Amino acid sequence: MKITIIGSGAMGCLFGGLLAEAGADVHLLDIWEEHVQALNAYGVSISSSGEERHIPVQASTDPKKIQQTDLALIFVKHAQTAKAAQTATSLLGKHGALLTLQNGMGNAEILTEAAGKDRVICGTTAQGAMILGPGRIQHSGTGKTVIGMWEGKEHCLLHEVAAILSNASLDTSTTEDIRPVLWSKLFANVGINAITALTNIRNGELLDLPETRELVNSAVQEALEVASAYDISVSPDALEQVFNIARATAPNRSSMGQDIDSGRVTEIEAINGYILDLAEKSGISVPINKALTALIKTLQSHYE
């Protein structure tokens, strides 16, 4: 199976590097020229548990230099999904598939419009990574990856993709209904990302003050109400799971926090903004998510 990683930032490099290390035929695609040059010259450097290893990879900034692919693994930010979808469909073979492990919601719909519902596989991953510099990442957390079809019939590559990822030390399982899994991840993002980004704290510090815990609680409760309105099946302990994730990732800076720190556009529209959009369509009031969305948008519009 030929695999192309579209969006080879921290997570793209983690998956691409581990796949390459396991012997997969993988090519990394990214727009950051210096990063791509470093990847080709030195391989991807993965730091984990105080150790650093270099894994040779193939990388490019030009999709025209990449041969027809069987699987396009999408890791770009939400704002770049439409462009990534065009690139991916131009590279896919006749029986190829797209797999998105992106943060937030709304990406699958964009990919489906470009490629068709029977070619779009969605998932979530508890793996974590941070960019340290061109060609260098920190593997900051491990965990399960779950994938499934967004809405079409089961793709012939679904179980093979799970096996290939698992063989690369990326423990992956499949599910017949991916939506509850995606929403569970969304609840965590809703409760953690914007608040940590705005307050310049790490995930575990959300638990330090009752006022902060109440803010997390309110944001997630609003998201749970929206999920119920759209008949999304959710775990009865969904809120507690968010706090457990904050504890388990206590030393980490959230992905949105990293974006704010680096002056990048965030994925607020695919997280709290997604909840706000669905709430407005169904007449539900979500004042906390509305405020968090507005504050992040204000902050990122005034980068120096």
Domains 2-176 and 180-300 share a fold: no
Query: Under 8 Å CB-to-CB from 298, ≥6 apart: which residues?
Result: none
Q: What is the pLDDT of residues 166-201, one digit of tens each?
A: 999 999 999 999 999 999 999 999 999 999 999 999
Alpha-carbon distance of 28 to 73, in angstroms, equals 10
Q: How far apart are CA 297 and CA 255, in angstroms?
A: 15
- Least confident segment among 70-84, 140-154, 193-207: 140-154
Binned at pLDDT 50, 70 and 90, residue 107 comes out as: very high
The rounded mean pLDDT for the chain is: 96
Q: Output the CA torsion sign for 162, 3, 134, 110.
A: negative
Q: Coil, strand or helix: which one is 293?
A: helix
Kindly list the distances between the CA atom of residue 278 and the CA atoms of 12, 242, 282, in Å, as whole numbers in the listed order. 29, 21, 6
pLDDT digits (tens, 9 = 90+) for 4-33: 999 999 999 999 999 999 999 999 999 999
Q: DSSP letter string over 71-139?
A: EEEE-S-GGGHHHHHHHHHHHEEEEEEEEE--SSSSHHHHHHHHH-GGGEEEEEE--EEEEEETTEEEE
Q: How confident is the model at residue 246 (pLDDT cuts 50, 70, 90)?
A: very high
Catalytic residue list contains 77: no
Look at residues 268, 248, 245 and name the one whose alpha carbon lies nearest to residue 257: 268
Read off the pLDDT band of 232 (50, 70, 90): very high
**pLDDT per residue over 144-154, tens digit each?**
999 999 987 88
CA distance 287 to 111: 30
pLDDT band at 141 (very low <50, low <70, confident <90, very high): confident
Which CATH number is 2-176 given?
3.40.50.720
Q: Where are the domains of the chain?
A: 2-176, 180-300
Residue 67 has a pLDDT of 87
Pick the catalytic residue from 185, 281, 290, 297.
Answer: 185
Angle at 171 between CA 140 and CA 252, to 5 degrees: 15
Q: What is the pLDDT of residue 42?
A: 97
Which pTM was predicted? 0.94
Averaged pLDDT, 240-258: 93
CATH node for 180-300: 1.10.1040.10
